[in-house]
Amino acid sequence: MQITINIELMDGPSLQHQIFESIRRQILDGHLKTGSLLPSTRDLSQQLGVSRNTVTLAYNRLIVEDYIFTRKTVGTFVNEHLPESFPVPEETSSPDQATGELHSLRHPVLFKGKSQDVVNPNRRKLDIDFWVGRPDPHTFPTKAWRRILLKNLSIAGSSLTEYSNPVGILKLRQAIAEHLGPARGIKASANQIIIVNGIQEGLNLVSRLLIKEGTQVVTECPCYQGAAYTFESYGARINPVPVDNAGMDVEKLPLGQTSLAYVTPSHQYPMGGTLSLERRLRLLNWASATGAYIVEDDYDSDFRYNGSPLMAIAGQDRNDCVIYMGTFSKSIGAGLRLGYLVMPKDLVEPAKTVKTLMDNGHSYLDQAIIADFISSGFFAKHLRSIRHTYLIRRNTLVDSLQKHFGQISLSGLDGGMHIAWYLPKSFPAANEVQALAEGIGVGAYSMESAAACHLCYNECSDRIIVLGYSSLNEGQIREGIARLAGVLQLKIK
Amino acid sequence: MQITINIELMDGPSLQHQIFESIRRQILDGHLKTGSLLPSTRDLSQQLGVSRNTVTLAYNRLIVEDYIFTRKTVGTFVNEHLPESFPVPEETSSPDQATGELHSLRHPVLFKGKSQDVVNPNRRKLDIDFWVGRPDPHTFPTKAWRRILLKNLSIAGSSLTEYSNPVGILKLRQAIAEHLGPARGIKASANQIIIVNGIQEGLNLVSRLLIKEGTQVVTECPCYQGAAYTFESYGARINPVPVDNAGMDVEKLPLGQTSLAYVTPSHQYPMGGTLSLERRLRLLNWASATGAYIVEDDYDSDFRYNGSPLMAIAGQDRNDCVIYMGTFSKSIGAGLRLGYLVMPKDLVEPAKTVKTLMDNGHSYLDQAIIADFISSGFFAKHLRSIRHTYLIRRNTLVDSLQKHFGQISLSGLDGGMHIAWYLPKSFPAANEVQALAEGIGVGAYSMESAAACHLCYNECSDRIIVLGYSSLNEGQIREGIARLAGVLQLKIK
């Protein structure tokens, strides 16, 4: 029995490929049954108006891939060994029924959870965007980067083609260890350092080590969404501890068994407070008494404007209970995707295993460049330069706010790349302010939109506007706040 | 009361920093009690033989950081608000007791599991190493790479400093989608593609979506360790299905509810068989009947020596049940750390959430370079060139083995970067062959050492030697096999 094969030849793929693909699809769709006879190459070539050789080549490929076979002097057939019934494509059954059936049968998605937004979904609507955590693109050290990159590319050898140590290349881990002593007061060996894709991957690594369904975890409140959502996704019960201007209120830490307390002591996210020394030590005491680990997220500590940077809690830790997390996302750029953990000695081995299981390590070239960038002194110079730039921007932002709104209440001024503004009582709620600002092309954010979650609601929850200033120049900052003042004046009761 | 402060001034950090750090440590160690009086700056400067200004600067920093405070005309004191008892450093208690106590108190590591070895731990001992999965460093397209890299670096703008889409930049996802049609017969939109750090990260993403404690997972047997260990680490019960020369024996697939079946159909790892079309279709039928997903790990399908590459199972899937995994680790280099998943449409949204939670995405520059490398046609050209190189090496390896060992039984010849050699009965076991080879500077691997695990033991388990040939030139291959023949001749019964 001869079967009509309808092939519409199109531009694009080769004729041979189109014939191959069309017959293959018809076999998979069940339109060409197993064992059925195909037209001869001569007939098909005439039918399609293509050379016989083209059809022969398509048939040969179908034979190689076992879709069809040839019986000498008899003809070419669809392979008889293929299963007689194929999975029914959804479009051939009645759609509703098919979908219903398939979905009830299909193994369910077991993951339940949410994720943070690191890219502003509305960025294209805005002229002036106070979105948080964006280094200024003009500060990227392109020239030094290019030079170090070309050098490393030319000497890379097998480092580009082969796997390297999943926890990071040694020269980067050494450079970080040496940087952390003077910069953050942390004494760590390269062996304790694990290179990660960024703090977000670090949070997953820590979660895999320490969290199972029902494990208690302490977070700040409000807290960075990326952390809270990650812990929750591994089954953690979150116990939020409120923060004030001096960071987490450690008197309110729970007494029960806790796996870890996640803190942002240099510049609390999003409120911006610095955890006081007294509280740091009490937090260490608490960790020692309860057996909890402290997870110190030091995301933007490179920028300290008043006084020298406070030493990290990891540098005050005498009991090997602090997991320190650092990143190059704020100090160089988030497009690099590199950060690091400093693990307590007892956790180094299991952390290496988890990291290897997670992803076999990071881009060799990026690691080598950052290592050289630190070791050569460029990194320290780069930090001094952008610290100066960001300080001027912070001052411009504070001045502009004061000029337009008079006496205002701000927090987070001592460092970092953003501040939190407590809205006066006469102002609308934060999400309304955000919407008004968006209407005039200005991005200004409620806590929720700024990737913070407020687990223990209080009267401040909808009274905070978060303003990132690092990627806006002074003119943009002044213009943005002026526009905001213009639209808010109409709304202030 | 005057307290003696012992400071040994060393080379290195500034004097001011040394004084600051020493007093800080003594406070944290409890040697300087809260509320106690410190020497005056004049006394300490005389005692240490340094300028008074240096001591004053160190004291100022201690004041800024809240360790000490000054009462006018009275003196300088350790802060009274610090907690009176600090966590006891381990070295001050009796070590055993302290360690014992601390360990029993400390929150336990909840992660239990193993990880795969992607870097050969013994590589430095070997002259000629048949370690699997290493592209030849000489094939890395350095010249084209440098040009594309410099172009992308110069136009990167804010892409280096800001976060981009966690699932990958659009131009890379589009380039991959366009590549997969002709190369692997997969019709996918850019929206279904998720860029990952490599297949290992992809396995974690899939596990987080589909596996919980007790979930049944099917793997091949033997199976790639990285996959089996990852599934196990999320609590999967693994149901291994044996493979033969035509890949997984699909007749032995289990009937019970299964979340996913993990397969390497192009070139089974480590045995090298190609899953036959008949089995592919039966596997799809099974997935449709049980509701399981098929996870298709297509790690080295770019290298096919006999006939054209078989289309991927994902290209035969009519029911949206195949999760396809590809990587640039074999085709360009493992030092890049980039791969991708093609998700069934129903899993796209949850997969995006999981990916974002896992790590906020990948290095911008690496993604942009690979996208241009594919779009410009360099990738296809590069593949043709190395395919030719690897084919010659495969032939040399087979010839050398035949020359020295006569009639031999090999599998995995049709493609990839390694073959499996079934040792003749008269030969010692695989781990003994590996040890003998190592003794003469040659790396030749038992399944276990080649990152494969044999979950259902059979008589073959210790009779297979895995030989990767892609990174050795013909002379090295001949020399390696000659050495192996020399040492084995003495041992053959």
Between A49 and B359, where is the model more confident?
B359
* CB contact (8 A) between residue B198 and residue A359: yes
Locate CATH 1.10.10.10 in chain B.
15-78
Q: For chain A, what percent of residues have pLDDT higher than 90?
A: 71
Least-confidence region, from A28-42, A225-239, A330-344, B331-345: A28-42
pLDDT by residue (tens digit) across A402-458?
999 999 999 999 999 999 999 999 999 999 999 999 999 999 999 999 999 887 766
Whether A31 contacts chain B with CB within 8 A: no
Chain A residue nearest residue B80, CA to CA: A278
pLDDT at position B308, please? 65
Query: How does strand B216-221 pair with strand B260-263?
Result: parallel
The angle, 0 to 180 degrees and rounded to 10, between the axes of the packed helices B170-184 and B364-375 is 40
The answer as to CATH 3.40.640.10 being correct for domain B141-377 is yes
What's the helix, strand, coil split of chain A in %, to 5? 45, 15, 40
**Angle at B458 (CA atoms; ends B453, B459), nearest 5 degrees:** 120
Q: Is the dihedral of CA B232, B234, B239, B240 positive or negative?
A: negative
Cis check: omega of the bond before B254, within 30 degrees of 0:
no
Cis check: omega of the bond before B242, within 30 degrees of 0:
no
pLDDT at position A175, please? 97
Chain A residue nearest residue B99, CA to CA: A319
Whether B224 contacts chain A with CB within 8 A: no
Tokens, residue A271: 């409120």
Residue B116 near residue B229 (C-beta atoms within 8 A): yes
Q: Is the dihedral of CA B116, B120, B122, B124 positive or negative?
A: negative
What letter would DSSP give residue B228? H
Locate CATH 3.90.1150.10 in chain B.
123-136+381-492
Q: How far apart are CA B245 and CA B464, in angstroms?
A: 13
pLDDT by residue (tens digit) across A52-102?
999 999 999 898 888 999 988 889 999 988 887 665 544 433 334 444 444
* CB contact (8 A) between residue B319 and residue A102: yes
H or E segment to which residue A14 belongs: none
pLDDT by residue (tens digit) across B112-144?
999 998 889 889 999 999 999 999 999 999 999
Cβ neighbours around A160 below 10 Å, total:
23
What letter would DSSP give residue A236? P
* Mean pLDDT estimate for chain A: 90
Tokens, residue A320: 């090997």
* CB contact (8 A) between residue A277 and residue B79: yes
- Using an 8 Å CB-CB cutoff, list chain A residues near B338: 363
* CB contact (8 A) between residue A118 and residue B258: no
H or E segment to which residue A116 belongs: none
Tokens, residue A449: 């939109």
* Mean pLDDT estimate for chain B: 90
pLDDT at position A379, please? 95
Q: Which fold does the domain B123-136+381-492 belong to in CATH? A: Aspartate Aminotransferase, domain 1 (3.90.1150)
Residue A450 near residue A270 (C-beta atoms within 8 A): yes
**Residue carrying the six token digits 């979930």:** B215
Classify A279 in phi/psi space as left (phi over 0), alpha (psi -120 to 50) or beta: alpha
The CA distance from A385 to the nearest CA of chain B, in Å, is 16
Model confidence at B100, in pLDDT bands (50, 70, 90)? very low
Out of B87, B198, B208, whose CB is closest to A284? B87
pLDDT at position A309, please? 66
Q: How far apart are CA B265 and CA B280, in angstroms?
A: 8
Closest among A67, A90, A86 to B287, alpha carbons compared? A86
Three-state SS for B185? coil
Interfacial A residues in 236-265 facing B (CB < 8 Å)? 257-260
- The answer to whether residue B91 scores a pLDDT higher than 50 is no
Residue A304 near residue A414 (C-beta atoms within 8 A): yes
Closest among B481, B478, B465, B472 to B272, alpha carbons compared? B465
Whether B451 contacts chain A with CB within 8 A: no
Cβ neighbours around B142 below 10 Å, total:
15
Q: How far apart are CA B415 and CA B265, in angstroms?
A: 11
Whether B172 contacts chain A with CB within 8 A: no
* CB contact (8 A) between residue B318 and residue A90: yes
Interface test with B, best of A148, A160, A232, A349 (most B CBs within 10 A): A160
Whether A278 contacts chain B with CB within 8 A: yes
* CB contact (8 A) between residue B166 and residue A118: yes
Q: What is the mean pLDDT of residues A374-401?
A: 95
pLDDT at position B459, please? 67
pLDDT at position B199, please? 97
Chain B residue nearest residue A307, CA to CA: B64
**Residue B249 CB-density burial (10 A; 0-12 exposed, 13-18 middle, 19+ buried):** middle
The CA distance from B149 to the nearest CA of chain A, in Å, is 10
Locate CATH 3.40.640.10 in chain A.
141-377
- What are the start-end ranges of the H helices in A211-311? 225-233, 277-290
Chain B residue nearest residue A227, CA to CA: B357
pLDDT at position B493, please? 63
Interface test with A, best of B232, B343, B359 (most A CBs within 10 A): B359
Model confidence at B87, in pLDDT bands (50, 70, 90)? low
- What are the start-end ranges of the H helices in B137-271? 142-154, 170-184, 199-210, 225-233
* CB contact (8 A) between residue B164 and residue A335: yes
pLDDT at position B33, please? 85
**Residue carrying the six token digits 């033997």:** B222
A349 phi and psi angles, rounded to 5 deg: -65, -55
Residue B155 C-beta-side C-alpha neighbours within 13 Å = 7
pLDDT by residue (tens digit) across A298-341?
998 889 887 666 789 999 898 999 999 999 999 999 999 999 99
Q: Which fold does the domain B15-78 belong to in CATH? A: Arc Repressor Mutant, subunit A (1.10.10)
What is each CA distance from B287 to A95, B199, B213, B236, B399, in whole angstroms?
A: 20, 22, 21, 18, 41
pLDDT at position A18, please? 86
Q: What is the mean pLDDT of residues A233-245?
A: 94
